[in-house]
Structure formats: structure tokens, C-alpha cells
Amino acid sequence: MIIKNITNQYLIESEENQYFDRKSARIKPADILRHIVAFANANGGVLAIGIEDNGEITGFDGMNAHKVNEFLEAPYLVDGNVKINYEERVIKNKKVLLFEIEPSENYVIKTKDSKVYLRVGDKSKLLNHEQIIQLEYDKGERRFEDLVVEESTFEDVDIKLLSKYKEILNTNLSLEEILEARALMKKGHLTYAGILLFGKFPTKYLPNARVRLLKFEGNRMETGKRLNIIKEINYENAIPRIIEDIKREMHSQLRDFQYLAEDGVFKTIPEYPEFPWFEGIVNAITHRNYSLQGDCI
């Protein structure tokens, strides 16, 4: 939604929605902050000042109406970098102020008193602490993997796996220093990323951090009485071990075919090339949200 493309008819007749709200100029300029913040934290939107909720154009000349400049100063009270375009428009001989708020892709926007709002339908909803944290995850401002698991210690580390990683790095750092240098361990405690990558028993702290490999008869998986699963394996190790174990199992499940090449030598070709199914395995694991319940399949 771009200001210049919004018609006067839309401003007057359209119902307020996820992307549009209207306010009287009698509202305190500071009170529009919640709507600016809400639009920025959602998908952006347009806020029209000088129009009543019923679409009546009242402008800025009525009794108790605030000045245009007061509203133009309001966005500076937002805590965060929000891109806002504005336009002053005359409709039915009355001035209307339009704010176009662009969405904040990577950061949660707050008011100066640290309140966070989110546009939900035609409302600007105040979020509680848990909801703010979830929004920070959604925007990538806060990463679940970086959180420290206070109950964990270096004893939870798979030493053989980490030592193999050290060999690949060809570094003189100690095992603890390797983890700390990559923010996988902080002050003696592992982060969730550290547990997922090098933990002996990741499910100790993340019960759902597992992968199920399913093989079923036919070309679709059925349920209930038609259940057609013929093989199921659960993997609950650190991610590098899971990847190698599944890769090994996949090779044992897929067939190889032999053919006579033009040079007269028999050669082997796999039923399915390794690259696409191996990429699928890695994606299924690394794209999983371990903070939610469920399994990788």
C-alpha cells in the first residue's frame, strides 16, 4: 500500500483493517505511536489523521484538534529505526495527514517506554513479555540457538565429535576455547547451538531434537488402518552424527543398478543421485524450530 495510490474514496469508505487505520486529529499525538509501532512490527500500513472512525473528514481545524506539526513530531518518539513517509492531503476542503509506515524486517520496534504493539486485524495489540520474545525470534533479532542452557556443563559435550572437529580446523585451541570462540559455550555453559552440534545427549535439554526416518509402501504415507510404514528409525544424537547416520542408512535402503558403458565396462549408477536427497536431509534438520513441539520427518 503506497500513499499516492490511495484514493480519497478508500480513506473515507474503507473499513479499518490490517493495513489501514484512521484517527481524529483530537487524539493526542503521542497516542498514535502505538499504531505506528504496531504497523512497523507487522506488515506495514497507512495511518490517516483527521478522519473519524466513521469516515467523516474533520481535519485539523475543529475544536480540540491538534496541529499537523505535533503529529509529524510523534514518530521521533519511537524506539527503533522506522521508515515513515507522509503526505498532507486536502479532502472536502479539510486537511488530512497520511502516514505510510514500512515494516521492520529485522528488529522489533518499541515505544520510548519499551511497549511493543503488533497490528492484528484492525487492532493495534499490546504484547506481553512472552509475545515480545516470540516476535524477536520471528524477526531474527533473538535467536533460540544463542540462548544459554544454565544446567549444562562441559561434561555434556561429545568429546570424540568435538575432537574430530578440532582436527578439521587444524587449530591449537583447546576444546573449551573452540566452543567459546564460536559462542557455543558461555561461562562454562553450553548454548542450545552447542548442545545440538556437540552434545552427547541433545534430547536431555531438547526432548524434540530428534529426527525420524520413515519408509513406507507406495508413494504416499497413510494413517490409521491404512498405515503403511514399513521402517522407522529415530535419531537423537548431535546433528553431525545424525546426518552421517541417516546418510549411511539411506545408502542401504536405495538400490544400485549396473549398466554396460560404451567402453565395454560395467558401471554402477544409484537409484537416486545422492545430492538431492542428502540436501533434503540437511534442510529437514537445520530448518527445524527446536523450540516447538514436533519431529523432523
CA distance 71 to 29: 5
pTM confidence score:
0.59
Residue 288 has what pLDDT?
52
Residues (pLDDT < 70) of the chain are 1, 287-297
Residue 160 has what pLDDT?
97
Residue 271 has what pLDDT?
87
Q: CA gyration radius for the chain? A: 29
Residue 290 has what pLDDT?
38
Residue 216 has what pLDDT?
85
Closest CA to 234 of 219, 222, 249, 218: 249
Residue 262 has what pLDDT?
87
Residue 246 has what pLDDT?
92
Closest CA to 236 of 245, 228, 227, 226: 245
Residue 1 has what pLDDT?
56
Residue 282 has what pLDDT?
86
Q: Which three cell numbers stand for residue 126?
A: 499490546
Q: Give Cα separations from 285 to 213, 236, 254, 294 (angstroms).
A: 12, 12, 21, 12
CA distance 216 to 253: 12
DSSP letters spanning the chain: --GGG--HHHHHHSPPBTTEEEE-TTS-GGGGHHHHHHHHHTT-EEEEESB-TTS-B-TTSSTTPPPHHHHHHGGGGEES---EEEEEEEETTEEEEEEEEPP-SSS--EETT---EEEETTEEEEP-HHHHHHHHHHHTSS-GGGSB-TT--GGGB-HHHHHHHHHHHT--S-HHHHHHHTTSEETTEEBHHHHHHHBS-GGGT-TT--EEEEEESSSS---GGG--EEEEEEE-S-HHHHHHHHHHHHHHHS-EEEEE-TTS-EEEEESS-HHHHHHHHHHHHHT--TTSS--B-
